[in-house]
Every structure is written in C-alpha cells, then in structure tokens.
Amino acid sequence: MTGTRVVTSSSNAIGVFDSGVGGLSVLRHIRHALPGERLIYVADSGHVPYGDKPAAYIEQRSIALARFLIGQGADAIVIACNTATAAAAAALRSRFDIPIVAMEPAVKPAVAATKSGVVGVLATVGTLESARFAALLERYAGEVEIVTQGCPGLVEQVERGDLTGAESRALIERYTAPLLARGADTLILGCTHYPFLAPLIADVAGANITLVDTGEAVARQLQRRIQSELPARKRTVHPEPVEGQNDSAQFFTSGDAAQASRIMSVLWGAEIVAQPLPQPFL
C-alpha cells in the first residue's frame, strides 16, 4: 500500500543550517516530528569547520544563511550547530522576527543520566570556549563533575563521510580516553556532526557508556514554537515519497555540490541532490 504524507501547500518552510552536513542529524528528528513541513537545509561546507573560526566570522555567515533561508520562504529557522548557536543565536534573534531555535549541549539530561557523577563533553573548541557554554556549565556546577574535551578533526571526518575508518577511530580514542579515565559514564555529543559517529564512539568507549545528543529535543522545541507562534499551515495529502527525493525537502551547500550530494545521501539514507548556494551567499 502506498503511504501518505501530509505536506504544507503554502510556501512556508522550516530553514535549517549547519557548518556542514552534520545538521542532518537534527533534520531527521525534525522530519519525524513535523512530517508535513517543507524543509530547506543549508550545509555551509565551503566554510567548515566553524569551531576554529572567530565568532564574528561565524555570526556573519549565520546572518547570510538566515537571509537566504528566509528568502526561500522559511518562517522558522533552526541553527543546527552548537558553535553557530554560541556565536550567532543572539544576533539572529535581534535581526529576524521569526522563531529561531538553537542548539546547546545536552547537559541537563546527561546530569540526570550519570551514575558515576562524571559527565564528559565532546565538542568543538569554539563551543567549549563560548560564554554561552560557560554559563551552561555554571548552571550545573556542584551537581556533577563535567569534563570537557575539544575534538579538532572530527567534523572534517564526517564531512568526508568517514564514519568507521581508522583515522576516525584514532581521533575518537584520543578524545574519549581522558574523559573515561576521569570516570565519565555519560558522554555528551556536543556537535551535530558527532551523532553520525555515535556507533564508533560507542564501540570505542564501551557498552556501559551513555551517549547524549539534543536533536530530538530541538525538534520538539521547534514543534512547540511553530504551533504557538505561527499561523496554522494549510495542508494537503500527498503520496509518501522517498526522503531526499521529493519537493518537501531541499538541500543547498556552499561547498562542492557533487561531494555534498554524495555525503548527504549516505548520511540521510536516500539520494539527495544538493544545489549550490547562489553567489551572494557564498
């Protein structure tokens, strides 16, 4: 039997962007929570990684991508990037009068999950050095020990589609070792790229380690804000398409479109054809 999907008939859409392809880990939660919404995803792979770039640079890129998404019909935006959240969420919310949903490392559920009282955070250097993250840690100071670890190179491995190779394993072994040595039994995946490495991280860290990410919570928050802040969408029923091969989801990149299409298709689990961003937004 052919399935059905309820899809918006208006031009409204949810815009999602990340420094690269990692935000697809959030997009799939959004698709599950809001199956009727038109989605527009931008991978800023021409500027990846964000984690080693100045905050002002990331803010500039985030504003440009938000403008592009709004121009495409987005009336809500998800910053599917912890580093961009830290650098640009406030700037986007001050400029654009639409719901802006952002990321933050899942410290609260990790604190609730730990039995050893030690939580490890795997994140980009940019996220760990941000004032926003410092405030988040301060909020939970004293409840548990939180040990942080910057992870240069992991984003690039996901961007290459290397989710299981020797180089990715070596990086994960290097970054998890000090956290495990401190007694961490819960690891926060503090970058949207990292959920794609979760099976490898679990294999390296061991079966008794709990991995926590925030994609599902972000999708729920987006759903609440759309329902409470935006006009009701008009919807029509369409045949169920294969994800990535339908007009209810569009994909753009500031990097190489052929490479992005290949990597996105692997991560999304269906064929994706990524379009290049227009020149003014590169």
Q: Which residues are catalytic?
A: 81, 191
Best CA proximity match to 185, nearest among 126, 120, 247: 120
Quick check: 73 and 41 in contact, CB under 8 A?
Answer: no
φ/ψ of 37, rounded to 5, equals: -90, 145
Best CA proximity match to 212, nearest among 114, 130, 89, 80: 114
Residue 56: CB atoms within 10 Å: 11
φ/ψ of 245, rounded to 5, equals: -120, 45
Angle of CA points 95, 104, 190, to nearest 5°: 130
Question: Are β-strands 4-8 and 235-239 bridged in parallel, bridged antiparallel, or unpaired?
Answer: antiparallel
* Residue 8 β-bridge partners: 235
Both tokens of residue 94? 């001050």
Best CA proximity match to 166, nearest among 136, 203, 116, 208: 203
